[in-house]
Amino acid sequence: MQRSYVIGLEGGGTKTRVMLTDLQGRVLSYQEAGSAHPNKDPHAKQHIQEVVLGAIKEANVERDQAQYFVAGLPGYEQRQDLEWANPLTEIPGLSCPRLIVNDSEVGHAGAFLFEPGIMAISGTGSNVMGRTEDERILFNGSFGHYARTAARFLSYDAVYQILAGQIKHEDQPLKKKVMQFWNVKTSHEFRGRASQQFIENRMERDRQFGLMAPLLTEAALENVPLAKKVCDEAVHSLEIGIRLLGGSFEAEIVKVCYIGSVIRSTYIRQHLTEKLQKNANKKYQVVEPSLSPVAGAIVMALKQCEIKIENKLLIHLLQHPQSRIN
């Protein structure tokens, strides 16, 4: 079918997400594949090619009808990174203009629709990004800060504290659940697995530790001391990252949105919001993201085509469930 369209790709986390829309924002296709992070998955290029070509096939459109391709990639931070990012996103037969940005940028575009604000990400990965009133893009990393709050880090911290004996009697049921997660029955066996780092392959080990994190965010809601300690440390780190960027905004009230399974978990979401309400350098208004990150890549592509992002277009886009954040 001869139909002009744009391509949006978001490669943050464990999945690569691709969406195709026409120039009015109507979604033509959506597909997912494995990770797009070249440092975490040796098949990143294959995943990107498969998911883009699969989405084009599903939409029943021709490759030469693509008008723009925006790819948000993890690990992309500066123009020198184009040396690896360009080959990673080259698709056979796709000759349209291409824009490569950090995956946080497509997330921010979706969350705030190019308006000023701070986006805090904590899920598979962790990042805090802001777009100021004068359109400067800042990261907490710009200040040398890293919020060690990705799901796997919560789990690592909890496991280390269990092994170090830094737990209370009230933590025993959680310890039992953690041991069940790792399929061990005794503390001796648990320590033995831990001394072998549980899983030899680092990528798979990190993935499994990430899957363990909901045990902690759910236990924190039940006032389990170990879980609260780990989650409170994550809240504090995210608060620092947000406030670091907040000082660069001119407005007295700065909008903030949360993206990712960890930061959107009930305990961390509630406690971080409460912390941000306390006066310091700025006042913060927590808002819901307007669009998902992959839909953010779409609006960036449409904007590159000089198409205005108006309400009718957004209504079309939001009709697809993957354009929204649950």
Tens-place pLDDT, residues 195-242:
999 999 988 899 899 999 999 999 999 999 999 999 999 999 999 999
246: pLDDT confidence band, cut at 50, 70 and 90?
A: very high
Residue 98 has pLDDT above 90, yes or no: yes
Looking at residue 191, its pLDDT comes to 96
What is the residue range of 39's domain? Answer: 5-103+291-323
Identify whether 188 is part of a domain.
yes
Q: What is the domain-level CATH number for residue 84?
A: 3.30.420.40
Do 256 and 133 share a structural domain? yes
Would 84 be classed as within a structural domain? yes
Q: What is the rounded distance in angstroms from the CA atom of residue 42 to the CA atom of residue 58? A: 26
* Statement to judge: residues 188 and 281 lie in one domain: yes
Please indicate, yes or no, whether residues 186 and 256 belong to a single structural domain of this protein. yes
pLDDT at 147 over 70: yes
- Same domain, yes or no: 62 and 187: no
Asked if the structure places residue 127 within a domain, the reply is yes
Could you tell me what percent of the chain has a pLDDT over 90?
83
Q: Is the pLDDT of residue 39 over 90?
A: no
Examine the pLDDT at 127 and tell me if it is beyond 80: yes
pLDDT confidence of 84, banded at 50, 70, 90? confident
285 and 299 together in one domain: no
In a domain, 245, yes or no: yes
Residue 267 lies in a domain: yes
| 155-191 residue pLDDT tens | 999 999 999 999 999 999 999 999 999 999 999 999 9
- pLDDT tens digits, one per residue of 255-283: 999 999 999 999 999 999 999 998 777 89
Q: Residue 31 above 80 pLDDT?
A: yes
Q: Would 109 be classed as within a structural domain?
A: no
Domain co-membership, 210 together with 318: no
**pLDDT class of 2 with cuts at 50, 70, 90:** low
Same domain, 310 and 197: no
Residues 233 and 124 in one domain: yes
Residues 163, 165, 166, 171, Cα dihedral to 10°? 90
Same domain? For 253 and 196 the reply is yes
Task: Evaluate whether residue 164 is within a structural domain.
Answer: yes
pLDDT confidence of residue 1: 53
175 and 186 belong to one structural domain: yes
Query: What distance in Å separates the CA atoms of residue 114 and residue 174, rounded to the nearest whole number?
Result: 42
In a domain, 261, yes or no: yes
Query: Whole-angstrom Cα distance, residue 32 to residue 70?
Result: 16
Looking up tokens 């190019």, which residue turns up? 114
Examine the domain organization and report whether 177 and 65 are in the same domain. no
Q: Is 58 found in the same domain as 126?
A: no
User: What mean pLDDT, rounded, does the chain reach?
Assistant: 94
pTM of the complete model beyond 0.75: yes
> What domain count does the chain have?
2
Q: What is the pLDDT of residue 25?
A: 96
Residue 194: CB partners within 8 Å, gap ≥ 6?
A: 159, 163
CA distances from 137 to 105, 115, 177, 307 (A): 9, 12, 42, 22
